[in-house]
Amino acid sequence: MGETRFDVLGVGNAVVDIIAETGDDFLESRGLAKGSMRLVGEDEATRLHGGMGPAIEVSGGSAANAVAGLAALGGRGCFVGKVRDDALGATFAHDIRAQGVTFATPPAASGPLTARSMVLVTPDAQRTMSTFLGAAAGLGVDDLDRAAVASSKVVYLEGYLWDAPEGPALFAAAAEAAAAAGREVAMTLSDPFCVDRHRADFLAFIRAHVDLVFANETEAMSLYETGDFAAAAGAMAEDVALAALTRGEKGSVIVSGGERRTVEAAAADVVDTTGAGDLYAAGFLHGYTQGAGLGRAARIGGLCAAEVIGHLGARPRADLRALVAKNLG
């Protein structure tokens, strides 16, 4: 397979998160389902932003968060995603490069503005997201660096990207390039509402192309239309070689063939659950690409998730390498 330049190449939406704390009454007044992610147009995004309280801007995007977390652990990461040549686009590019991630996708010179997600965090630490995809939805097959894909141990695909016009074609192109180079393909299901929109397509793609699936328990059960987590895990084992299924305070379950391995959650003071799954994937992928056992990879993922839910924003603030060394040796 040859030498690799990257441990993980992530493909996903390049988004800047605009995060504010709020109460349940605000969600109810806007008809927002707590814990959900919905897509909105530019006008609605502007209205919602105007009604929010004091907010902070933090670069985000699911796959981007995961690759940034991997880089914070010392891994070699690359991200493919589209921004506009505007202020938020410059913020996104600066932040991910400052984390040590290679980001070379050219910005769009015209068209919709850089994507932004209004993230409302309630006192119970649940986050409710309204996302304007903007320029991110313009990511296409021509933006894919196939040489970088071929030089990456794992290609990590963000389920949210399936909503983009060229999303399905981009997924197929990335998977084909990875397979041709003997590389692995990982996919995150992203959100139960995303699964509901694309269930049949997700299943077909996973069965044909994916080696490793990341999902939380709600997403996994939605994929297989069951209220039984064990049944969903069993069905997942039939469709993919490896799955890492997160269950919040219950920890995670690693599914590999007939094997089920449960790993306890790391202790955490929950402030904002934004990015928990992304940073779990970051830690797991770092351990996995460095040859750690599945149990250790899951523990690294749990530690990274615990760190990110302890503060606002979906990018790590602590020294993740030091955190892992202290807790896992």
Query: 55-114: per-residue pLDDT in tens?
Result: 988 898 999 999 999 999 999 999 999 999 999 999 999 999 999 999 999 999 999 999
CB hemisphere CA count around 294 (13 angstroms): 16
In the structure, what pLDDT confidence band is assigned to residue 199 with cuts at 50, 70 and 90?
A: very high
Task: Render pLDDT for 216-261 as a digit per residue (tens, 0 to 9).
Answer: 999 999 999 999 999 999 999 999 999 999 999 999 999 999 899 9
Share of the chain above pLDDT 70, in %: 100
Phi (first) and psi of residue 142, to 5 degrees = -65, -20
Q: What domains are there in the chain, each with its CATH number?
A: 6-15+62-115+137-328 (3.40.1190.20)
CA–CA separation, 187 vs 191, rounded Å? 12
Nearest to 61 by CA among 144, 140, 158: 158
Whether 151 and 134 have beta carbons less than 8 Å apart is answered as: no
- Interacting residues of 99 by C-beta distance below 8 A, sequence separation 6+: 68, 71, 72, 315
Euclidean distance between CA atoms 283 and 68, whole angstroms? 10
